[in-house]
Chains A and B, each alone.
Chain A
Amino acid sequence: MLSADALADIDRELAKYPPDRRQSGLPAALRIAQDELGWLSAESIEFVAAVIGVPAVRAWEVATFYSMYDLQPVGAHKISLCTNISCMLRGADEIAAHLKRKLGVDFGQTTADGKFTLKEVECLAACAGAPMLQLDRDYHENLTPARVDEILREYQT
């Protein structure tokens, strides 16, 4: 289900923890699986549990507790917009409205072409660069509608 590279990455993560504490590597293993597969299906969550050597319910607990795991298919790129207080004070609402109009989706939805999923997220600890968003792994700060357009163009191609 996972490539040899992904399994090797999981092994590298597991090496950080005592041999009898493999469950510590579970969050990383789920992340690696999600990176490769796009999202976490029931099958992939249970596969990861087997790789780690824990009961499937342990992997389910982690996959459903943390906000970064996607338990439904998502777009090729995930846009996570912070709307928490420091961003709100500096115009996150305007950025949210702009993104929704531009992409034609609401929070929690994916564009028809499958390119972008738009998410509303809590504080991402970049408050001095508010308003901000995370696109896949990268932070983009000091957003304006024009800056958002530029960012979207970079990922459109």
Chain B
Amino acid sequence: MRECRGVCLPREHARCWTLEAYRRGGGYRALERVLREKVEPGAIIEALKTANLRGRGGAGFPAAIKWNFIPRAAEGQKYVVCNSDEGEPGTCKDRDILRYNPHALIEGMAIGGYVMGASVGYNYMRGEFWEPYQRMEAALAEARAAGLLGENLFGSGFDFTLHNHLGAGAYICGEETALLESLEGKKGEPRFKPPFPAAFGLYGRPTTINNTETFASVPAILRGAAGEADGDWCSGEWFRDLGVDNAGGVKIFSVTGHVERPGNFEITLGTPFAELLEMAGGVWKGRRLKAVIPGGSSVPVLPAENIMRANMDYDSLQQAGSALGAGSVIVMDETTDMAAVLERIALFYFEESCGQCTPCREGTGWLHRILRRINAGRGSRADLDTLLDVANRIEGRTICALGDAAAWPVQSFLRHFRHEFEAKVEAGDANIADKTAAAIRAA
């Protein structure tokens, strides 16, 4: 077992979301020390670099590099924004951070604000997260009352204000520039990049956006393994050493679908998939594993034999032909109808396309209609070629990655499970042949 709670998911459970419980585990010591000692922002970035912390929202971009993009000396207002718009199908980790460890996020964002020279932060939560929103609001009130947010924190001259912002229902707002548009009170339509948010972000000001889990990892990384061990302070080494070469530390994996015990598991990066599957109780009902989507519905699906050889880290899953994404592991047993699953995934992207780019707006509708036809036994062999053709024409031709996210499942399901689609379209072709014959007979 390589389960390692305590970075983003709390170790203890009784009222773990309170300030008191968070402080018992060493909470806010990193912020206090950073501010009292006026630690050089560069030293904090260096620690994150050593720790090899990669963004936990899906893209895996190194946090230290992102934090370095911000022109710290630039005059005027800068912002830190947390992306808590969790919505990638199969992903349910940020909700648990918000509900059970809200102060880790607050502390991480405050440290981020100090490093970036930003005095204001916004935590953007998806609109459906009413319970997490209430938890976060209570946590902000506790932190303000305890002098952990506000003006001149710990006498350092650094001010930091943090607000929770609730969305209103749109997957696209998990895309960072759509999130900024939404935070400005507009439709969540992604912006062209460049300019990147570091130069032109919220209200056109320099902005750093990180995922909930990324921010929440920062205090523990700075604090060190035991929370007290001085040698670990602001080094990041202990975190790096938990992970593998190209990715440090621990990460939460949401294991869902056909397993005995679905759940969130905070484990060291590089843990073999087989061990993670075991933590979730294995495939349910004693059945055999058929396929796994290892990083949320947009990443390519992998057949059992491929995933069983892979480890849960960025490079290993990439070598296996997929991606770690947000760590959202969707497990499918031997009874799963892959064409039906792909139809549901295609419906999702069709529903959630913001409509700004033609290839995505029109193409996602095509994908869904063709898959619905195939599953209804009305498909034909030519439909399989059309599916791939449409997917290939969406990929890489849109402003944001939602188009790619719609294309990749189609390409990978057809790559690995083409025989299942063929069986359905053969039945469809036979139907068409029968109908033609019947029509001829009737004539």
Contact = CB atoms under 8 A, between A and B. Distances in A.
A61 B166 CA distance: 17
A33 B118 CA distance: 32
Interface stretch (B256-264, B268-276, B391-399, B417-425): B256-264
Interface stretch (B64-72, B181-189, B191-199): B181-189
Nearest to A136: B130
A86 interface: yes
Nearest to A65: B187
Interface stretch (A100-108, A127-135, A146-154): A127-135
Given A122-B171, A130-B262, A83 B127 contact: no
B186 A89 contact: no
B3 to A, nearest CB: 15
Contacts of A98: none
Contacts of A123: 87-91, 171, 297, 348
Given A62-B185, A125-B87, A128-B262, A31 B166 contact: yes
Nearest to B345: A85
B169 A66 contact: yes
B170 interface: yes
Given A86-B89, A123-B88, A130-B262, A138 B131 contact: yes
B185 A88 contact: no
B167 interface: yes
Which of A17, A25, A65, A126 has most B Cβ within 10 Å? A65
B348 A127 contact: no
B151 interface: no
Given A31-B127, A128-B264, A137-B131, A24 B183 contact: yes
Given A24-B184, A130-B256, A122 B348 contact: yes
A131 to B, nearest CB: 11
A55 interface: no
A16 B168 contact: no
Contacts of A58: 185-186
B344 A127 contact: no
A48 to B, nearest CB: 11
Contacts of B122: 16
A68 B169 contact: yes
B348 A128 contact: no
A115 interface: no
Contacts of B87: 122-123, 125
Contact of B344 (A23, A84, A129, A130): A84
B94 interface: yes
Given A66-B168, A125-B126, A137-B130, A84 B254 contact: no
B351 interface: yes
Nearest to B352: A122
B128 interface: yes
Given A85-B257, A88-B341, A88-B344, A125 B95 contact: yes
B344 to A, nearest CB: 5
Contact of A89 (B92, B203, B257, B354): B257
A123 B169 CA distance: 10
Contacts of B187: 61-62, 65
Interface stretch (B47-55, B213-221, B328-336, B366-374): B328-336
Contacts of B344: 83-85, 88
A85 B342 CA distance: 9
Nearest to B96: A128
Which of A26, A27, A89, A126 has most B Cβ within 10 Å? A89
Closest A-B pairs by Cβ, 4 of them: A67-B169, A66-B168, A23-B185, A68-B169
Given A54-B185, A123-B348, 7 more contacts: A61-B186, A67-B170, A85-B257, A125-B86, A129-B92, A130-B257, A137-B130
